[in-house]
Amino acid sequence: MLLLRLGRLKRFARRKDGATALEFALIAPWFFMTLFGMLEIALVAFGQTNLDYAVDETARRIRTGQVQAQGLGASAIRDEVCANLRRIMPMNCANLYIDVDRYADFNSAGGGAPIVNGNFNQAGIGYTPTLRNEIVLVRGYYEWKFLTPMFQPILGNLSNGRRLLASSVLFRNEPF
């Protein structure tokens, strides 16, 4: 009886029928997690590039005096950035925030990302009209929502699990 059991066990060990399926079952979770992670990081990078493009295009119009000549205000500036943001990739403009400030010199311009205790601090974000030859800082912020929730703790920099994308352009207005 023992010999019969050992013979069956040896035959079972030599069989290769389900080896591939078993091996795939062992590595599939790690494979798909890596695949989805690469896709998520690529989407965040593409979103960041998209935000950079949109903020840069609007900053160029401010720098050359086109915005001032048309008398555009905060909502028109935000709409323009939103239109440029959606030109390449569909993004929700409800998560978009634009800040335009003027400064006395380049050294006083700046500040870090407005994240306080893991929350996006919107205080001080707004639009200040600019004049010729002024130093201007245009910043755009976008709250990126991840497609795969398992990457929120890893890639998110806000307490709600989202990532704050930021883009800045610092320049001196032309003498328009």
| 118-123: average pLDDT | 92
Distance CA 92, CA 131 (A): 31
Q: What is the pTM of this model?
A: 0.82
What is the predicted pLDDT for the residue at 145?
93
Pull the structure tokens for residue 14. Answer: 């030599």
Quick one: pLDDT band at residue 112, thresholds 50, 70, 90? confident
Q: What strands, in cross-sheet order, belong to the sheet with 96-103? A: 96-103, 135-144, 163-172
What is the predicted pLDDT for the residue at 161?
92
Question: What are the extents of the domains in the chain?
Answer: 21-172
What is the predicted pLDDT for the residue at 124?
85
| 107-135: average pLDDT | 90
Q: CB-based burial of residue 157 (10 Å sphere; 0-12 exposed, 13-18 middle, 19+ buried)? A: middle
